[in-house]
Structure 1
Amino acid sequence: MPRTQDFDTAEVIGLARDVFWDKGYEATSVPDLERATGLNRSSLYNAFTSKRGLFDAAVQDYLDRVVRPRLKILTAEPTRPDAGVRYYRALAETLATLPEDCPGRGCLLLNSAAGFAAHDETQRMVVDAYRSELSAALTHALRALDPDAPAAVVEHRTRLLTSLSVSAFLLSRINRDEAIAVAHTAIEQLEEWRGTA
């Protein structure tokens, strides 16, 4: 008879997510996950099948609890014309809370893209879907900023802002101040576009 699960799955996934976020998938060992979650290897494997299964659950948790709540600024209806500026201000404020002498976590998904996602089709698809979701949210905000902008202009602006977002997230792991500067560059660009709308 199978044993019943005596732990909170969501809590375990959140704890594992933080380990993967701090260390990356490849550098995270099963003993690291055991220490963080308080569960032994067999409990983790019974619940999640493998380290990869736990990572996949952690990525979904990251999307649901970290990414999508932040994107709501860009997509909430009715979308305000300053939604993009508010998003990048919130990003800059979050980055400013990072200690100067300690690298930040960056973005769990982009960190994995720099690691094993390039060689893992499933993870590559997850990262690309995240990029698409971010781009769609930015496009939505840009349409609120300038409803009359031609589609090609919105597409160009979306690509630029998506690239600035990715740069800020990646830089936050190595240079907090430069990551904040990139977020401010996005704000300045949005304000310039707003002035010409």
Structure 2
Amino acid sequence: MARTLAFDRAEVIENARSVFWSKGFEAASVPELEAATGLSRSSIYNSFGSKRGLFDAAVVSYLDEIVRPRLRPLLTDQVSASALTDYLQGLAAVFARPESLPAAHGCLLINTASAPLAKDTQISRLIGEYRAELQAAILRGVTSALPGVSDERANMLSTAITGLVVASFALVRIAPQEAVRLLTTAELLLND
């Protein structure tokens, strides 16, 4: 008879996510993951297949619990005219608090994009899909904030704002004030 799992899978993934988010996939050691999750190496491997399997579960958790809730106002049927400004200002406020996870650690996926793991086809595809999802949400915010804007201008603005958001996530750990400035610049693009 197979043993039943004696741990909360969601909690284990969340605790592992914190390790991966702060250290990155390559630097996160299995002993650190054991300590954070309370699982032994064999339990991690039996439950997730590998360190990479646990990382993949952490990425799904990150998207579902961290990224998509913040984007939700930009994805509703009726996007508010202020939704994109609210998103940018909310992100800037989080970045201005050094103790917040995004300010301390940036974005798990943006960080992974510059790591050796990004050469993996599956990870590369996932990062590209994340950027596309972010840009699609921002495009919806642009078109709601600027009714009547041409498709060409809306696409240009969403590309520029997405680039500024991605750059802010890449910089926040080392230059939080610059990250906030980039988000303010993104907001100003809506007022041009």
Range of TM-score over shorter length: over 0.9
Shift, 1:76, TM fit: 2.6
Question: 1:140-179 maps to which residues of 2 (within 5 A)?
Answer: 140-179=140-179
One-letter amino acid of the counterpart of residue 49, structure 1: G
Q: What's 2:105 paired with?
A: 105
- 2:21 corresponds to 1:16: no
One-letter amino acid of the counterpart of residue 152, structure 2: A
Q: What's 2:73 paired with?
A: 73
Question: 1:20-39 maps to which residues of 2 (within 5 A)?
Answer: 20-39=20-39
CA RMSD of aligned residues (A): 1.2
What TM-score, normalized to structure 2? 0.95
User: Which region of structure 1 is more displaced relative to structure 2, 38-47 or 68-77?
Assistant: 68-77
Task: Structure 2: state its 5+ residue gaps.
Answer: none
Distance 2:163 2:24 in 1: 22
Task: Structure 1: state its 5+ residue gaps.
Answer: 193-197
One-letter amino acid of the counterpart of residue 35, structure 1: A
Distance 1:2 1:85 in 2: 52
Q: What's 2:186 paired with?
A: 186
One-letter amino acid of the counterpart of residue 30, structure 1: V
Question: 1:110-149 maps to which residues of 2 (within 5 A)?
Answer: 110-149=110-149
One-letter amino acid of the counterpart of residue 190, structure 1: L
One-letter amino acid of the counterpart of residue 127, structure 1: I
* Native 8 Å contact 2:146 2:190 kept in 1: no
Shift, 1:187, TM fit: 1.5
Percent identical pairs in the alignment equals 44
* Native 8 Å contact 2:139 2:158 kept in 1: yes
Ranges of 4+ aligned residues in structure 1 off by more than 2 Å: none
* Native 8 Å contact 2:71 2:137 kept in 1: yes
What TM-score, normalized to structure 1? 0.92
One-letter amino acid of the counterpart of residue 10, structure 2: A
SS in 2 for 1:78: coil
* Native 8 Å contact 1:30 1:51 kept in 2: yes
Distance 1:18 1:37 in 2: 10
One-letter amino acid of the counterpart of residue 188, structure 2: E
